[in-house]
Amino acid sequence: MSDLAIECRQLVKRYGDLVAVNHLDLEVARGECFGLLGPNGAGKTTTVEILEGLTKPDGGQVLLLGQTWKRRGARKLRARIGVALQETRLPEKLTVLEVVRLFRSFYPDGRSPDEVIEILDLVEKREARVGNLSGGQRQRLALASALVGNPDLLFLDEPTTGLDPQARLSIWGVIETFRKGGGTILLTTHYMDEAHRLCDRIAILDRGQGIALDTPDALIDSLGADQIIEFPTNGFDPDSMRNLPGVVGIKQRGGSTRLRVKHLGQALPALLKHAADHGVVLESLATHRATLEDVYVHLTGRGLRDG
C-alpha cells in the first residue's frame, strides 16, 4: 500500500477560458497535515473538490489512499474521508445532534454522535437548532459532521475563515488532536498564521500553479532573511539601497518598499543613515519577523489578500 494519502499528477481544470488548476502536482504523506495556501481564486477550492471526487478534472491523475475515483469503489473511498466544505449551510431547523446523527448514518463505521459532539465542545448546544448557532459553533458542527465518519483523511476548506480568534483556536485544537491520532489532513487557508501553526508542509498556489512547496520554516528561510523592514517609497531610489549592509532583497509594492534583511541590527541603522544622507524623511517605518505572507509577496509580487 502506498505511503501517500494523496497523490496527484499534472492536474488540470478549466472553466471556459479560465484555467483554475494548471498542471498541479501534489504528494501528501499519511499522517501529514498539508496546507494549500493562496489568495482567493488561486485554485485551492477547485483542487480540493477534485481530490474529494466532487469535481472531475480535465486532465491528470488523482490517487487517494492508493485508489482512484472510479465509479466502483467510490463509496468505499468516501467512507474513509471527511469533508468540511467552504460555505456549506447545514439545515437550519435541525438540532446539532440531529445533524450529526444524520451524517453518522451515512457511514458504515464511525464514532458515536455524542462522542464527536463532546470533542467539538458542543455538548451545551446539543439540542440547539443550527439556525441559532454562532459562526464558530456552526464551523465546529461542520467539523463534527466530517469527523463522525471516523475518517483517515480530512479535507478542510477554509475551516476558520471569518471566525474570531477564540473560535479559531478551538478549531485548531481539534485539528491537532485529529493529526496526533494518526489522521491525514489537507487544509486550505489564506491565513498564514493558521498554515504556519498547523501544517507540516505547505504548497503555495498562484493562478492554479504550485509555486513553492516546503515546510513553513523552510519556506521562510528561503527568503534568506529573518526580518522585513517596510516603509513608504516616496523619494527613494530602491537600487541605491541594494548595497546597504544586511539587505538581502528589495520589493516594491503599491506605495511601499519592503527590504528583506538578514540582521536587523545592522540594516536598520544603515537605512536610517542612508535616508538622512539623501535628505529623505521616513514618515513611517515598520519591521516584523518574516512570515509566509512575505514568502508569497516575494514569489508573486502581490499580497495574499490582493486576490
Question: Interface with another protein by CB under 8 A: which range of 98-106, 184-192, 208-216, 296-304?
Answer: 98-106
**Residue choice 34, 69, 103, 236 for contact with another protein (CB under 8 A):** 103
54, 77, 66: which is closest to 8 by C-alpha? 66
Phi, psi (degrees; rounded to nearest 5) at 261: -125, 150
Instruction: By CB under 8 A, tell whether 114 contacts another protein.
Output: yes
Shorter beta-carbon distance to another protein: residue 98 or 121: 98
Closest contact distance (angstroms) between CB of 289 and another protein is: 38
Q: How many C-beta atoms lie closer than 10 Å to residue 113's C-beta?
A: 22
**Residue choice 88, 134, 177, 252 for contact with another protein (CB under 8 A):** 88
CB burial of 261-292 (b: ≥16 within 10 Å; e: otherwise) equals beebeebbebbeebbeeeeeeeeeeeeeebbb
Shorter beta-carbon distance to another protein: residue 155 or 296: 155
Instruction: By CB under 8 A, tell whether 97 contacts another protein.
Output: yes
x/- site string to another protein, residues 26 to 65, per CB under 8 A? --------------------------xxxx----------
**Residue choice 2, 18, 66, 106 for contact with another protein (CB under 8 A):** 106
C-alpha cell of residue 121: 465542545
Shorter beta-carbon distance to another protein: residue 84 or 225: 84
Question: Interface with another protein by CB under 8 A: which range of 34-42, 89-97, 198-206, 261-269?
Answer: 89-97
Shorter beta-carbon distance to another protein: residue 6 or 219: 6
Residues 6+ apart with CB under 8 A from 289: 226, 227, 228
Closest contact distance (angstroms) between CB of 69 and another protein is: 12
x/- site string to another protein, residues 131 to 160, per CB under 8 A? --------------x---x-----------
Closest contact distance (angstroms) between CB of 145 and another protein is: 8
Judged by the rule CB under 8 A, the positions of this chain that interact with another protein are 52-55, 75-76, 78-79, 81, 83, 85, 87-91, 93-94, 97-98, 100-108, 110, 112-114, 117, 126, 129, 145, 149
